[in-house]
A = this chain, B = another copy of it.
Amino acid sequence: MRIAVLGVGLIGGSIGLAARRRLDAEVAGYDTDRALLGRALERGAITEACESVSDACRGAEIVFCAAPVGVLPELAAEALAASGADTVVTDVGSVKREAIAALGADPRFVGGHPLAGAETAGVENARDDLFEGARWYLTPTPSTGGVLYDRAQGAISAIGGRPQAIDAETHDRLMAAVSHLPHVLANVLVAQAADALGAGESERIGEVGPSLRDATRVAGANPAIWADIFAGNREAVAEQVDAVAERLRGAAELLRSGDADAIAAWHAEAASGRRLLLEEELEGARLCELRVLVPNTPGVVAEIALALGRAGVNIEDMGLYPAADMRSGAISLYVVGEEEAGRAMELVRGLGHDVSQVER
């Protein structure tokens, strides 16, 4: 099998590596960045470095467009122009409506979006197992050719992805809610907190709680990626943002009412809602949070993680909360299932630390 990869960064490079290993494919690569193309060849992510899009597409059964979101529709259009009737062209953009509006009528185009690897960049970080078990959305339209669609989804399965058809609009709305919206909220919360702190006297600044830190972790992250995403999915994201603003008005009203029972019910609903969201993610198992009080010294995280690791208890998530003196603090450990939680607590107690399970 021969495939083309246009854009050989983390995603394109990983597609190449996986296709070589799993499909024994020849991989024609192209990138506007010639140095990057050279590194991709060195890494073995591609078998051939091409001079142009049309060179890369020549004879390819599948063309993967893996450039930044903002240029994807244009790149895919170029790939379609350069490809014959029996080539399927797909992309990896995290926003899909625009590409589908432009190219969805072409039977050879299938929009795609693997949920993997947006955290690092560069072909240096490419891995042949990046897509192992990862949801890979595909957005066929009524015009999409059945044989070509089947070829794309078969290849994606073969390189480890879990293809799932979804219409472009639903996809973009879903991503707006679970991925793009939290980034907007984090940005806004930073601005609000900065204002509130600035408004106090300066000697009162500096007591930023762990909740603010967690809530703003993604603020301003990966500007190159997010500028494109915000631009490409602006309608759906704006809609989600408006909906949250509306909910906040409601929450403010609820708080002002002082109705303790209603406030408690609203708070409890959030607890169970989050548990459900995370349980979905963990396929049904209950995520338990353990809170450990520790000295804030090098080695303490290792000591705990090692004790759990030795006993085969996997830590799904972890949060560190240094105390004000930076000499002590708390660690939240998230493990799956009550049994694991019980074992973890015993192990941590055995190390002499105070630990308790956080009830939600």
Contact = CB atoms under 8 A, between A and B. Distances in A.
Contact of A124 (B120, B124, B271, B354): B354
A176 to B, nearest CB: 8
A94 to B, nearest CB: 10
Nearest to A222: B358
A252 B121 CA distance: 28
A174 interface: yes
A85 B258 CA distance: 35
Nearest to A188: B247
A336 to B, nearest CB: 10
B309 A178 contact: no
Contact of A177 (B119, B192, B222): B192
Q: Specify which of A273, A311, A356 lies most central, judged by the most chain B CB atoms within 10 Å of its CB.
A: A273
A358 B225 CA distance: 13
Nearest to A356: B120
Interface of A: 115-117, 119-122, 124-125, 127, 129-130, 132-135, 160, 162, 164, 166, 170, 173-174, 176-179, 181-197, 199-200, 203-209, 211-223, 226-227, 230-231, 234-235, 237-249, 251-253, 255-256, 258, 260, 263-264, 266-274, 276-278, 280-281, 283, 291, 293, 296-328, 330, 354, 356, 358, 360
